[in-house]
Amino acid sequence: MWLRDSRSGLLSAKRAMRLHGATAWRGIMAGTPKSKGEQAERRTTRARAVGPNPWVSQMRKGLLEFLVLAVLRRGEAYGYVILRELHAFEGLRLTESTLYPLLARLAKEGLLRARQARSPEGPPRRYYSLTAAGHRRLVSMTAYWTAITRSVDELLAAKEDR
């Protein structure tokens, strides 16, 4: 077993005992899960503390393309502006590491046009805008979204007959 120590870096269990003493080692080990079940529970607990439930993540992944196209329907924007617009709405926050690969994929698919321009400060910016294919995809996605949300709303409003 290896431990990370703020003073010495990565330590083996034996070296940690020598440096910090057996009492400290027992305290460290008391918090270590013993069984696979305890390890899985700790991972699940850590995931809950760190981020949303897996179903929330899956639902958001399915919406990201639609959301980016919806932001760009108003006109050309660069990545940071897209992030800022999405952050203005509760539940639509995403990170740069999620956005930029998505923008690259949409541009590769011909849904977005990308151009690079000088920035008043810092490195050049890449601006994205919808192509004709991107507009068509947005219209199609919007129609589907309208139909599916109507159906889900009806399902949730239906009285329980069982």
- List the structure tokens of 36: 């696979």
CATH for 54-157 is 1.10.10.10
Residue type, 68: V
| Gap between the Cα atoms of 114 and 131, Å rounded | 10
> From first to last of its 162 residues, what are the pLDDT tens digits of the chain?
444 544 545 545 555 556 555 554 444 444 555 566 655 555 554 444 445 578 888 888 889 999 999 999 999 999 999 999 999 988 888 889 999 999 999 999 999 999 999 988 888 999 999 999 999 999 999 999 999 999 999 999 987 765
Q: What is the pTM of this model?
A: 0.65
How is the chain split into domains, by residue range?
2-50, 54-157
Q: Are 37 and 77 in contact (CB under 8 A)?
A: no
Q: Quick one: DSSP state of residue 71?
A: H
Taking CA 102 as the corner, what is the angle to CA 100 and CA 104, rounded to the nearest 5 degrees?
A: 70
- List the structure tokens of 9: 């870096």
